[in-house]
Structure 1
Amino acid sequence: MSGTAQFGDFLQTRRSQLRPEDVGVPTYGERRRVQGLRREELAQLAGVSVSYYTRLEQGHSLSASPEVLDALATALQLDDAERQHLHTLAKPAKQARRARRPAPERVPEATVQLLHALVAVPAIVLGRRSEVLAWNRLGHALFAGHLDFTAVDRVAERPNMAQLVFLDAHTRELYADWHSKAKAVVGNLRLMAGQHPDDAALHELVGQLSAKSTDFASMWADHRVKACATAVYEMRHPLVGPLVVTQQTLSNGPGPSVVVATAPPGSPSDAALSLLAHLIRA
């Protein structure tokens, strides 16, 4: 999907998700034929003309200023991540770019050293398409112990966390609140798709997941975006049982991100991670 199409689709979808009562628009008890706000109602809230907003939503106008984008974001009640996403989508709309297949992502040497240093902490390195570029022993055992540890060393066989979450029975069972984890995965992919509109491999991944998973297709159509920074998940690990971990994404610029899982020192979950580390050394 082009940047222009993503921009208009995002506006239309988020407009449909806002109810008049959410933003103080009176309806006077009338029967409404559209879901959410009408175009004219959102245009009024944003302080732009209806014709101009319609052109933006339909992809016929490529000149939205930062001030107009901020006004639209405020009217749509977007959070900071969603507001930035709106600005990002507006940028490629100004100049269409041909989709291309970039070279496989590489793990910087500094990240490799960090991964080796985190011996007692589950850690994996993810690329922008959710591919697992590297992991340490404990990260592999926690997130995907049923897979070949050396798969990450072969580009064509690298596991993909988005595919695992939606298409792999083991991973789906691993998360007690699978829906929450799935929404976070989709929200992050939305951000990546907006930032890299010319990444053909990323678009292929989205198409594949949409075709194979109705859950993914539904969540993707919702246009929610979410930066995967910190989240708490209850996990049901087949070797050590239930545990609660905080997953944190450590990112330094546009390159791969390191995802670590921790638990409060001395907690039952911390003991479960220690047991898992013992089991994989045995």
Structure 2
Amino acid sequence: MSKVKAASRPAARKKDSLLHHIRKEWKLYTFLILPILYYVLFKYVPVLGNIIAFRRYKGGPNILGQDWVGFRYFNQFLTDPSFWNAFWNTLRLSIGYLLVRFPVTLIFALLINEIRKQKWKKTVQTISYLPHFISLVVVCGMVKELLASNGPINSLIASLGLDKIAFLSEPGWFDTIYIGSGVWQALGWGTILYLTAMTNINTELYEASSIDGAGKFKQAIHVTIPGIMPTIMTLLIMDIGGIVTSSNMQKILLLYNPLTQERADIIGTLVYRMGIAGGNFSYAAAVGLFEAVIGLILVTGANFLSKKFTETSLW
């Protein structure tokens, strides 16, 4: 009994200390009100809407008053060939984008870190950051203009005596267009966390490795990358968790057309067509819930493996 009381005392003291700190710094804690309200209203309350995945929802505010159908819509989309086509397209595009963007961003950050003149370093960073601030609609418009049948790229191809390529109507080119334009837009912005982590590496490690005869390449492999490994693994875990859920639906909606839909259609665009355009809200909610569960499984699995092998994790 005495052991239980002794164990409860630190918890009670910790609680009293927290309450005392809140009373003392209440003005600072008021800044948390708006972020908390934002997450409650726009992140947690909408979760209740997942109930329509188990009901025959036909619209209106009364989501609890609809007929209960259980897993009917889950069985429906799991036996729907269009869903599985969208599912595999999502995996293909997301994994392909991750396999290209992740190492390219890391390599680009390492190269920027080697620029010694601050003037040139800031210039390179500014130029590489700019595409991130261009509207997605504008980026897709630029892609379409560049790859049009009479666009600059096809004009160059024709000037070389080669046949023009129908980039926007041939399904085989969609992956290259999607991944290439995505890497171009996200490359500079994705280096920010890496460069920030590199500033925390002890410079004495570079001096010691230089004395041992290590060049820039070996320093990057044996000093820089191990020094930022927690940042690398954290970003990788988050990217893996978003393989199914983070495909850029808006970008694909702006780029694809009936000729490329079979290869470009992903879960997000399927949900949009079935739920918003088609009015089948329950079907779309069931697909979206399934997508979220898969994402949760992926991020949990990636976090577990990272914690086991690299001792870095999100929790």
Q: Report TM bin, short chain.
A: under 0.3
In proportion to residue count, which structure has more helix?
Answer: 2
Report the TM-score, using the length of structure 1 for normalisation.
Answer: 0.25
Q: Which has the higher contact order (CA 8 A, sep 6+)?
A: 2
Report the TM-score, using the length of structure 2 for normalisation.
Answer: 0.23
